[in-house]
């Protein structure tokens, strides 16, 4: 007889084991099917996330037809503006490229990262990625064609491709892209006649600008050399206009224009003397046009062809791109998104900085709101001139110098050759060229105080490393980054340094006892600013002569150099020369360049330093090349 066998009831543990074995066999096939079903959506992310293109040019203010410049010939850019949003108050964070590009790629101020000096070499902390790295991690294909100029080496992983061949075409099918194209034909150097010719050759006769019709700003003399440079500048912009048209045509031909948001902007203001490198309107205000295709029109602040007077800073660009891409904004970024899903309220203030410009040291800070521009010159005893050797290649700069020497400049044009006021305040609506300083007017006292306080708070909030000096910053950054130095109250007691730096502006002899006492402070940066405060007083600081002489033995070369200049102003030429020529052998180019700046200001009194200049050390990291350049023309200048 057959026996029917019933299976034994399984224990709970056996049930679990058998269920797991079944799932292991079945789930892979299930997930493969799921991926195949979902694949069409994954392959076309551009339907959900926009492509973004930056068309970046160099060294131009809003000298475009669409911005009301009647001298400009820019039909393609004007068309772009009619299809997009034209921003009227877009501002760089510096009047020069490297510091601006530091900010654009990181969403942080150069003064926070330690890259505030023109052409410096710093390290970016690994924990601070570029915004392009953040985009890549979210799935974007990111390219840069091709200028970087960040004041630091581009981090590994910043770009999928960074070269003159980098292009969004090289992405995977359906992959959203962020692409930067840099046009260098409008750079300051392209105004030089030998470079301008090749751009002019691409234009028709009716596109070339007549120098006799060139508008000349009030801070420039109206002479042929100036008019010619302004005409060359505008010719280069017309050549740029053709390039913009070509880049836009590429998007149309590839069928991706309807999926691509286009930014057009310049990296700072006009590449002309007293514009570039300055913190004036002409140095900071840039064109910004953003075109939104119909698919992403909901992300635009208004309809095509309109303008926005929203205050926008370069520090806002990185978070704005991330916001448009639907990507979270990292906490280290210091700007605010002005578009997209993470848009922030409009900013009230924008900030800008000026530190070492090529071979010349300076410290200037500015803040502006919708109406006023406030500027603090932390070294008011210095002038904006002499121009650096690069600017002096422009005939317009040469004309400025010659006319100054001949006494033929009016007070507005000549002011760049003289010491500056500690504070400047301008009504940008009434005075866009910034020629009428309101800082001393009683009726503007409240505005002056408000803007001064806002700048002070911003410097503390962002940990402005510019007040430490390039030498001290790099010395303290050994084994770490300048950013790390700035974030440490121990390494950088900014709350103690900033008030001393602000004292210089008053140039009040009553402060001499306090400044002398600060020369004994344990913090070298405090001693340095105190010594500069006495130097700014000139012969009025005669009672501080013993204290300044004592500083010639200070551990810090910055203090020694500042004290030497102070003694020079008191007539102690030999003592100043002894310290300054000794500093020319300092191991760092930062100290050597500071000494060279002072020797230049001494004029013919520096002639005894000629043998030391000829033997001076020339090695080191940037700014060593600029130090070498300055040393060469100093030797030529002092030759009998």
- 156's tokens: 């590994």
Q: Are 481 and 475 in contact (CB under 8 A)?
A: no
Torsion of CA 378, 383, 387, 389, to 10 degrees: -70
From start to end of 205-259, where are the E strands? none
Instruction: Report the SS3 class of residue 616.
Output: coil
Crossing angle for the helix pair 224-253 and 75-83, to the nearest 10 degrees:
50
- Helix/strand/coil (H/E/C) assignment for every residue in 92-147: CCCCCHHHHHHHHHHCCCHHHHCCCCCCCCCCCCCCCCCHHHHHHHCCCEEEEECC
DSSP string, 293-321: -GGGGGGSSS-TTEEE---EEGGGHHHHH
Instruction: Report the SS3 class of residue 150.
Output: coil
- 210's tokens: 């007549």
Start-to-end CA span in the chain (Å): 131
Query: How many other C-beta atoms lie within 10 A of the C-beta of residue 174?
Result: 13
- What does residue 427 show for φ and ψ, rounded to 5 degrees? -90, 105
Strands 85-91 and 312-313: parallel
From start to end of 407-508, where are the E strands? 423-427
Q: Are 434 and 281 in contact (CB under 8 A)?
A: yes
Q: Are 559 and 520 in contact (CB under 8 A)?
A: no
- Helix/strand/coil (H/E/C) assignment for every residue in 209-221: CCHHHCCCCCCCC
Is 103 marked active-site?
A: no
Exposed (0-12), middle (13-18) or buried (19+): which is 75, by Cβ within 10 Å? Answer: middle
**Which DSSP state fits 357?**
B
Q: Buried b vs exposed e over 82-96: b needs ≥16 C-beta within 10 Å?
A: eebbbbbbbbbbbbb
- What does residue 198 show for φ and ψ, rounded to 5 degrees? -70, -30
Instruction: Report the SS3 class of residue 53.
Output: strand
Q: Which residue of the set 66, 97, 162, 275 is catalytic? A: 97
Instruction: Report the SS3 class of residue 351.
Output: strand
Query: Would you please indicate which residues are annotated as catalytic (active-site) residues?
Result: 97
């Amino acid at each position: 007889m057959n026996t029917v066998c019933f299976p034994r009831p399984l224990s709970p543990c056996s049930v679990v084991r058998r269920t797991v074995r079944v799932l292991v066999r079945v789930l892979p096939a299930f997930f493969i099917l799921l991926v195949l079903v979902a694949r069409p959506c994954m392959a076309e992310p551009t339907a959900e996330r926009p492509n973004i293109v930056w068309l970046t040019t160099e060294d131009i203010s809003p000298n475009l037809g669409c911005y009301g410049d009647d001298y400009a010939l820019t039909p393609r850019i004007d068309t772009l503006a009619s299809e997009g949003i034209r921003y009227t108050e877009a501002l760089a964070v510096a009047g020069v490229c490297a510091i601006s590009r530091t900010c654009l790629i990181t969403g942080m101020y150069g003064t926070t990262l330690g890259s505030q000096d023109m052409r410096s070499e710093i390290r970016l902390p690994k924990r601070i990625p570029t915004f392009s790295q953040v985009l890549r991690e979210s799935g974007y294909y990111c390219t840069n064609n091709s200028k970087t100029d960040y004041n630091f080496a581009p981090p590994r992983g910043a770009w999928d491709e960074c070269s003159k061949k980098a292009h969004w075409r090289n992405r995977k099918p359906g992959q959203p892209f962020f692409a930067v194209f840099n046009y260098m034909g409008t750079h300051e150097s392209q105004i030089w006649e030998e470079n301008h010719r090749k751009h002019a050759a691409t234009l028709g006769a009716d596109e070339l600008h007549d120098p006799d019709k060139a508008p000349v700003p009030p801070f420039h003399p109206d002479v042929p050399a100036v008019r010619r440079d302004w005409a060359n500048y505008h010719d280069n912009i017309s050549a740029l206009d053709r390039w913009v048209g070509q880049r836009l045509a590429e998007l149309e031909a590839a069928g991706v224009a309807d999926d691509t948001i286009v930014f057009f902007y310049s990296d700072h203001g006009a590449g002309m003397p007293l514009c570039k490198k300055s913190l004036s309107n002409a140095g900071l205000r840039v064109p910004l046009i953003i075109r939104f295709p119909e698919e992403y029109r909901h992300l635009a602040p208004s309809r095509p062809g309109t303008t926005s007077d929203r205050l926008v800073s370069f520090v806002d660009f990185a978070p704005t791109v991330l916001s448009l891409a639907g990507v979270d904004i990292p906490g280290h970024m210091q700007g605010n998104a002005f578009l997209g899903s993470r848009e922030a309220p409009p900013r009230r203030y924008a900030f800008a900085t000026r530190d070492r410009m090529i071979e010349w040291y300076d410290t200037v800070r500015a803040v502006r709101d919708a109406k006023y521009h406030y500027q603090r010159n932390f070294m008011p005893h210095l002038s904006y001139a002499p121009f650096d050797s690069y600017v002096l290649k422009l005939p317009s700069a040469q004309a400025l110098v010659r006319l100054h020497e001949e006494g033929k400049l009016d007070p507005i044009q000549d002011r760049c050759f003289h010491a500056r006021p500690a504070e400047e305040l301008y009504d940008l609506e009434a005075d866009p060229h910034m020629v009428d300083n309101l800082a001393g007017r009683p009726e503007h006292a409240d505005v002056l105080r408000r803007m001064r306080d806002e700048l002070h708070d911003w410097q503390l909030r962002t940990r402005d490393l510019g007040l430490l000096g390039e030498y001290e910053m790099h010395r303290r950054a050994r084994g770490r980054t300048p950013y790390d130095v700035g974030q440490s109250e121990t390494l950088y007691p900014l709350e103690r340094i900033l008030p001393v730096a602000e004292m210089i502006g008053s140039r009040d002899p009553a402060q001499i006892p306090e400044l002398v006492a600060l020369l004994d402070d344990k913090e070298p940066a405090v001693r340095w600013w105190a010594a500069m405060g006495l130097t700014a007083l000139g012969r009025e600081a005669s009672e501080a002569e013993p204290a300044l002489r004592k500083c010639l033995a200070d551990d810090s070369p910055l203090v020694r150099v500042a004290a030497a200049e102070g003694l020079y102003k008191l007539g102690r030429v030999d003592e100043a020369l002894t310290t300054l020529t000794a500093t020319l052998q300092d191991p760092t180019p930062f100290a050597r360049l500071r000494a060279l700046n002072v020797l230049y200001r001494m004029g013919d009194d520096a002639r005894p330093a000629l043998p030391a200049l000829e033997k001076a050390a020339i090695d080191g990291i940037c700014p060593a090349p600029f130090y070498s350049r300055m040393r060469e023309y100093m030797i030529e200048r002092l030759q009998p």
